[in-house]
Amino acid sequence: MIKLPEKNKKLLLHACCAPCCCAIAKELKNSGIDFTIFFYNPNIFPSKEYEKRKQELIRYCKKIKVPLIIAEDEKSKKQWEEAVRGLELQPERGKRCCKCINHRLYKTAKYASKNDFDIISSTLSISKFKDFIIVTNSGKEAVKEFKNVDFWAQNWREIINQEEPNKISREENFYRQRYCGCFYSIGDALK
């Protein structure tokens, strides 16, 4: 069983997709932690891919009875594009990824601050496509502006056996992507 850091009570968990989220959500639920999943991923390309990932997460959250917030608006994609502008040629896990994660976790922290969540974390730290240190630094940066929100730098890879997300994904017949999500990461995945 895991516990939130001592003074925190309500977690907003940024999630990128159902395969990365499933074992974390199961662990949080089994630990009795009050949490809500937050889907904010304007980086995902193309829109068909975005919809697949979103729908899989909706389906799973309904099944396990976990609250889910889909944070979308017309400006999201443009804001993300502005955040990574000039970094298009950076490699996966490079400066572009830092900016992308900063952007998404900042939006998560902002939502948390306005909606009575006192801590955020992200499923990105379990993904094979992401670096735990980059996710942690982005999370710490994201909450700086919000005095009422902390970042939980949880290395999910240390807590969750890597076979568990794969097992759940097979059982749930999740759609499994082959790249992180953005247009630029597609090329890296095909190498």
Average pLDDT over residues 136-152: 97
The mean of the pLDDT values for the chain is: 93
Average pLDDT over residues 178-187: 80
Predicted confidence at residue 181, as pLDDT, reads 83
Q: What's the pLDDT band for 142 if we cut at 50, 70, 90? A: very high
Check residue 128 and report its DSSP letter.
T
Predicted confidence at residue 189, as pLDDT, reads 55
Q: What's the pLDDT band for 188 if we cut at 50, 70, 90? A: low
β-pairing, 68-70 vs 119-122, is: unpaired
List, for residues 26-81, the tens digit of each pLDDT value. Answer: 999 999 999 999 999 999 999 999 999 999 999 999 999 999 999 988 799 999 99
Which residues does residue 38 pair with via DSSP β-bridges, in sequence order?
14, 69
pTM: 0.94
List, for residues 94-106, the tens digit of each pLDDT value. Answer: 899 999 999 999 9
Residues 134, 93 contacting (CB under 8 angstroms)? yes
Give the sign of the dihedral formed by CA 186, CA 56, CA 77, CA 109: negative
Tell me phi and psi for residue 6, to 5 degrees: -45, -50
- Asked whether residue 186 carries a pLDDT value surpassing 80, the answer given is no
Tell me phi and psi for residue 154, to 5 degrees: -95, 120
Measured from the Cβ of residue 22, the count of other Cβ atoms closer than 10 Å reads 29
List, for residues 121-136, the tens digit of each pLDDT value. Answer: 999 999 877 889 999 9
Average pLDDT over residues 83-89: 91
The residue ranking higher by pLDDT, 90 or 120, is: 120
Predicted confidence at residue 9, as pLDDT, reads 96
Predicted confidence at residue 89, as pLDDT, reads 85
- Asked whether residue 187 carries a pLDDT value surpassing 80, the answer given is no
138 closest CA partner among 126, 127, 124: 124
What residue has token string 């969750």?
Answer: 160
Predicted confidence at residue 13, as pLDDT, reads 98
